[in-house]
Amino acid sequence: MSDKKQKLLQPLFTKENYLWMVIGAVIIIIGMLLMSGGKNQDPNTFDYKVVYSTTRVTVAPILIIAGLLVEVYAIFKKSKTS
């Protein structure tokens, strides 16, 4: 009976899970910052290269998706002791 209680009282996530969650959050934040950066020198003109740069359109979304995948991994990762 005490083994059953002890098994029930174990935390859901370990330190390693939380570490992976923080890593995933940092990757997502970097992707968001890359997506938001850049502005025109003259606000009256539209510069296609600044608004639709490769960093904003391709790299940033890939980083955000990678960060979300790391978060999913962190949630589903089992501890080595169980």
**What's the whole-model pTM score?**
0.79
Nearest to 79 by CA among 2, 9, 12, 3: 12
Instruction: Kindly report, residue by residue over 58-78, the tens digit of the pLDDT.
Output: 999 999 999 999 999 999 988
Query: Are 73 and 20 a contacting pair, CB within 8 Å?
Result: yes
70 contact partners, CB below 8 Å, separation of at least 6: 20, 23, 24, 27
How confident is residue 2, by pLDDT bands cut at 50, 70 and 90?
low
Query: Are 27 and 67 a contacting pair, CB within 8 Å?
Result: yes
How confident is residue 82, by pLDDT bands cut at 50, 70 and 90?
low
